[in-house]
Chains A and B, each alone.
Chain A
Amino acid sequence: MLRVSGLHARVEEQEILRGVNLEVRAGEVHAVMGPNGSGKSTLAQVLAGREDYEVTAGSIELDGEDLQEMAPEERAHAGLFLAFQYPVEIPGVGNSYFLKAAVNATRKARGEQELDAMDFLQLLRQRAKLVDVDEALLRRPVNEGFSGGEKKRNEILQMAVLEPRLAVLDETDSGLDIDALKTVAAGVNALRNGDRAFVVITHYQRLLNYIVPDHVHVLQGGRIVRSGGSELAHELEEKGYAGLNGDSAGA
């Protein structure tokens, strides 16, 4: 479904990604781990099409389509979703209003009929229940005054409503206490299915106790230096990234 080949990208003259290869198939959950500054978040931003990041070499394909040719909203319409590390506040814009606009913009782009207020509300309520989000959150302005946990849960809710093909979760676990982490993970697990894939970006192994990945990749210095099954995450937990470095010398 997602094929990243030889991806190089830079921000303000600084090369951050130096040849990333990644292949994700439908139904799979991939974890991308790595120390600070390894390029994890850059990878997420480049996938979503953030302007400040310049791709200098390589390719990204989603379902055989070249993502680099597409604007961020077109990538969203194609089924790419990014759960932000720092969800953005939009004062005065109601959460459910925002989501309705998002859903209908996507449906319109796909040539589907837009949902009316009643149908949308039904969908929203059902999804909120699925990922265990309180309805009160729906009536508040987008992320404004939300706690860290509420913001992350709101991202998961948006994902549940938008039903992406591929969801990229950028450090969704950062800043969450264990209860919030469990709720968020349960939300993600509820959305796992054979047609949908996840790329879970995280610094810590902790999240992966709750979202068990099929594949784990270690990103370091802008390259994936090791890949393996979920056991790799536990190895990292024990040895740390530095310990892994010794092991993977020459890999």
Chain B
Amino acid sequence: MATATDTIEALAQRDYEYGFVTDVEQDTAPPGLSEEIIEFISAKKNEPRWLLDWRLDAYRGWLKMVEPDWANVRYEPVDYQSICYYAAPKSDDDRPKSLDEIDPEILATYEKLGIPLKEQEMLAGVAVDAVFDSVSVATTFREKLSELGVIFCSFSEAVQDHPELVRKYLGTVVPRRDNFFAALNSAVFSDGSFVYIPKGVRCPMELSTYFRINAMNTGQFERTLIIADEGSYVSYLEGCTAPMRDENQLHAAVVELVAHEDARIKYSTVQNWYPGDKQGVGGIYNFVTKRGLCEGRRSKISWTQVETGSAVTWKYPSCILKGDDSVGEFYSVAVSNNRQQADTGTKMIHVGKRTSSTIVSKGISAGEGQNTYRGSVRILRSAEDARNFSQCDSMLIGDRCGAHTFPYIDVANPSAQMEHEASTSKIGEDQIFYCNQRGIETEDAVSMIVNGFCKEVFRELPMEFAVEAQKLLEVSLEGSVG
């Protein structure tokens, strides 16, 4: 330990010497994972001792864990010692100077999605003044929110400014040693978002990471914590439809939600990380742990996700329905085209009385994509009169792709009411021919049919997001037929 401490001290010295600005520009930890690296990260972030201990405990737990292999996905093993676990935001010198330096294929996609030029530059990480515009937008928003007592800031800021809240809730929904990827995240998480909605406040706007420029650099181990106090409401949007440039292959995020009595949290995700090329080379591995705790009576947590990106997706946004009469919802559209693989679904754990959950999952496979729905519904003995409705539909486009469904149901209370519906359909030649005969081209026919298939999920998304998601689906499935 002495060496580690020395290193940190030495580094801390140096930081101080060069001042804050240079510090940000020069700091990158060497590749590899060790207690020293974790101490370094924690020190860089000026974290309190308890948080460092928390990280270290997660790390020690992680060392004893084995990477899960039960998911229906295949990928090259990740070399955890070759990853850099701390990289400061890139300086302008390292960024692309203009959109001319960006992969034309990404630009073409921006174009198709109708993203304004300034935002394209922002998303592509171009060093431009546009950044300052959005910072000021963010600041305006934040002022408005703070009048209501809403806290919406980066996770690192929350650790500095609201340590009592972070300490109280961090790891209460996803324990630091919950699973392999969550433990890894807990040890090395980079940054993320923190939201607190005080009692009785209805957050007046959709909270979106999109507007927070510092979220652009949260890195591969994002950590989000959202707390809705009694009787409050918040709608949170994560991600954006445009493909984001990222050089990190592994993404292991953790999201924790806590809803107190009568509180409601609506969490919507559009995930469009780079899926790799047509052969599946270079895509992102997205291994995410998302879980919400309906702590109080009549609380409600609703997950809506549209997953079109990443080479491999491993993700099961879940709800623990602890409060009596609490409600959990999961609406999902997952697309796997070309060589993409998605193993995604949800867990609904019914603890309280009269708890109810709804699961609507739409999986779309095209090209050689493999799409798996994996869902678990558990009704504990205490959950008197619990109800669940599950609907899992799969759609196949072409004959080289696959759809798989693994529903797990575990009922320990006989008063439970369970409904499960599942279907698999193939976009029929006759559906396409029917559209063609009415004058609609095949590509438009496919996107129309697919959008119809996903309608129940899209209508859960906030308005603008829904429109974007539809467009995104079109772009993702381009060329998948004919």
Contacts and interface: CB of A to CB of B under 8 A. Distances in A.
Contacts, number: 75
A92 interface: yes
B455 interface: yes
B448 A91 contact: no
Contacts of A158: 438
A124 B431 CA distance: 22
B452 A92 contact: yes
Contact of A90 (B436, B439, B449): B449
A221 interface: no
Interface in B419-467: 428-431, 433-442, 444, 448-449, 451-456
The secondary structure that dominates the B interface is helix
A88 B431 CA distance: 6
Nearest to A101: B440
A125 interface: no
A57 interface: no
A72 B437 contact: yes
B440 A92 contact: no
A77 B434 CA distance: 14
A105 B440 contact: yes
B439 A105 contact: yes
Nearest to A71: B436
B449 A73 contact: no
A87 B435 CA distance: 11
A84 B434 contact: yes
B452 A141 contact: yes
Interface residues of B, number: 23
Interface in A105-146: 105-106, 109, 141
Interface in B160-195: none
A79 to B, nearest CB: 10
B431 A90 contact: yes
Contacts of A87: 434
B449 A50 contact: no
Interface in A11-38: none
Given A73-B441, A98-B438, A93 B448 contact: yes
Contacts of B448: 90, 93, 98, 101
B438 A92 contact: no
Interface string A76-102: 110001101001111111000011011
Contact of B451 (A48, A72, A92): A92
Nearest to B454: A92
Contacts of A46: none
Interface residues of A, number: 32
B433 A50 contact: yes
B440 to A, nearest CB: 5
A102 B437 CA distance: 9
Contacts of A52: 429
A71 B451 CA distance: 24
A43 interface: no
A49 B434 CA distance: 11
A219 interface: no
Nearest to A103: B439
Contact of A91 (B433, B440, B453): B453
Given A50-B433, A101-B448, A73 B453 contact: no
A31 B434 CA distance: 23
A162 B452 contact: no
A99 B441 CA distance: 13
Contact of A73 (B428, B439, B455, B456): B439
B470 to A, nearest CB: 12
A93 B440 contact: no
A76 B438 contact: yes
Contacts of B442: 73
Given A93-B452, A98-B448, A101-B448, A73 B434 contact: no
Contact of B437 (A76, A93, A99, A141): A76
A208 B111 CA distance: 54
Nearest to A78: B439
A49 B442 CA distance: 14
A89 B425 CA distance: 12
Contacts of A88: 428, 430-431, 433-434
Nearest to A94: B452
B439 A162 contact: yes
A162 B438 contact: yes
A72 B428 contact: no
A105 B441 contact: yes
Given A98-B448, A101-B444, A101-B448, A92 B437 contact: no
B352 to A, nearest CB: 34
Contact of A102 (B431, B439, B456): B439
A106 to B, nearest CB: 4
B439 A109 contact: yes
B405 to A, nearest CB: 18
B449 to A, nearest CB: 6
A77 B437 CA distance: 9
B452 A76 contact: no
Given A88-B434, A105-B441, 11 more contacts: A76-B437, A88-B433, A90-B434, A90-B452, A92-B451, A98-B435, A98-B438, A101-B440, A102-B435, A102-B440, A109-B439
30 contacts: A48-B437, A51-B429, A51-B433, A71-B436, A72-B436, A72-B437, A73-B436, A73-B439, A75-B437, A76-B437, A77-B439, A88-B428, A88-B431, A88-B434, A90-B435, A90-B452, A92-B451, A92-B454, A93-B448, A93-B449, A98-B435, A98-B448, A101-B444, A102-B438, A103-B439, A105-B438, A105-B444, A109-B439, A141-B452, A158-B438
- The 5 A-B pairs with the shortest beta carbon distances in the complex, nearest first, are A92-B452, A93-B452, A102-B438, A72-B436, A76-B439
